[in-house]
Amino acid sequence: MGLRPILVEDVTSLLARFSPEQDSAHGSSESEVTLQCTGAESLSPVALESFREGLVRLESGRALDAVASFSRCVRLAPEFTAGRVCLGVAYALSSNIYPAIDQLELATRIDPASFAAHFKLAQLYFKLRIPVKGYAAATQALRCAHSRDERRMLAQLLQKEREREHNGIARPWFFRKFSWGTLALAGGVVAALVTFAAFVR
């Protein structure tokens, strides 16, 4: 019996529910993330089955088991962007932060036009309170957003981050030194994203 094709909905609805930023206060109100399964048709049967197995495990709350399934998938199909994104989400949900970042960043390099990869990376950086990298990933996600749902999701993410920064304690960024020119440029990017979020709402 042949395997049915992977449906985008198989992945998008899953990623919308299982976000590194999800918590009991906000629930899963996000719209679906558009994740085109580019290259799925060329996957080997084992890689395809591993990917599906990972989706089932992730949906049932077994993030560590999902890591094993998605890891097997990307070993067999290293350029499969959807597999990398899902592996990054599974790592994040199992509190393996550095591997999660590695997989999501790799997904953005494999497919620079992937909205899902940039969006999930932005979510994770904002959750980790690394706003500079979060805004950088969000900027890339904005360039890749083609649907109304994608733009709305990005606006919601930026609005949530803006509220967190407004209500939270200002924290210095220690990982690099900034010149006045760099600070001005960063401020311009943040202002543009905030304006975009206000416009879409």
Per-residue pLDDT tens digits for 107-119: 999 999 999 999 9
Does residue 166 belong to any structural domain of this protein?
A: yes
Instruction: Specify the pLDDT at position 111.
Output: 93
Does residue 67 belong to any structural domain of this protein?
A: yes
What are the C-alpha distances in Å from 36 to residues 98, 116, 126, 174? 25, 9, 24, 36
Instruction: Specify the pLDDT at position 43.
Output: 82
Query: What is the distance between the alpha carbons of residues 116 and 61, in angstroms, rounded to a whole number?
Result: 21
Does residue 75 belong to any structural domain of this protein?
A: yes
Instruction: Specify the pLDDT at position 44.
Output: 87
Does residue 79 belong to any structural domain of this protein?
A: yes
Does residue 4 belong to any structural domain of this protein?
A: no
Query: What is the distance between the alpha carbons of residues 134 and 148, in angstroms, rounded to a whole number?
Result: 21
Question: What six digits make up the tokens of 6?
Answer: 């992977």
Q: State the residue range of the domain holding 20.
A: 9-200
What are the C-alpha distances in Å from 73 to residues 52, 79, 93? 9, 10, 18
Spell out the residues 6+ positions from residue 91 whose beta carbon is closer than 8 angstroms to its own.
Answer: 67, 97, 99, 100, 103
pLDDT (mean) for 49-74 = 94
Does residue 83 belong to any structural domain of this protein?
A: yes
Question: Which position has the higher pLDDT, 182 or 2?
Answer: 182
Return the CATH number at 14.
1.25.40.10
Does residue 3 belong to any structural domain of this protein?
A: no
Does residue 2 belong to any structural domain of this protein?
A: no
Other C-beta atoms within 10 Å of 186: how many? Answer: 16
Question: What six digits make up the tokens of 75?
Answer: 């070993």
Query: What is the distance between the alpha carbons of residues 106 and 199, in angstroms, rounded to a whole number?
Result: 31
Number of domains in the chain: 1
> With bands split at pLDDT 50, 70 and 90, how would you rate the model's confidence at 32?
very low
Question: What six digits make up the tokens of 1?
Answer: 């019996």
Average pLDDT, the chain: 76
The model's pLDDT over 179-197, given as tens digits with 9 standing for 90+, comes to 555 545 555 555 556 556 5
For the entire predicted model, the pTM comes to 0.69
Question: Which position has the higher pLDDT, 192 or 76?
Answer: 76
